[in-house]
Amino acid sequence: MRKVRMNVQGRVQGVGFRYMTKMVADELEIKGTVRNEDDGSVSIEAIGTDEAMTLFIQKVKESPSPMGRVTYVDIQEYPLMEVYKKFSVTN
């Protein structure tokens, strides 16, 4: 299983980005969380198979929300991440 932490920048708040990200995660059986940050970015913690994670990252970069626009994604491998049972939207 691959565990990553992402910080996504661009037009990612107020456009349904978190909920559309959850839909993609559920479709790919990715577990984790997505939340808005005070600086206008969105943070994602995600756990999934290598194949699913590759697709998930690609879809996040393309913006799962039609009204969103991703300008930058910082992706870090995060092997010590807690294990999630589902994918959830917070704050």
Label residue 68 by pLDDT band (50, 70, 90). Answer: very high
Give me the chain's average pLDDT, please. Answer: 97
pLDDT at 74: 98
7 is a catalytic site residue: no
Q: What does pTM read for this prediction?
A: 0.95
11 is a catalytic site residue: no
Q: Which residue has the tokens 């996504």?
A: 8
CB atoms within 10 A of CB 91: 9
pLDDT at 81: 92
For the chain, list the domains and their CATH numbers: 2-81 (3.30.70.100)
18, 35, 69, 91: which is the annotated catalytic residue? 18
Dump pLDDT digits (tens) for 11-41.
999 999 999 999 999 999 999 999 999 999 9
Torsion sign across C-alpha atoms 80, 83, 86, 91: negative
Query: Encoding tokens for residue 52?
Result: 């699913």
The answer to whether the CB of 64 falls within 8 A of the CB of 2 is no
5, 11, 35, 36: which is the annotated catalytic residue? 36
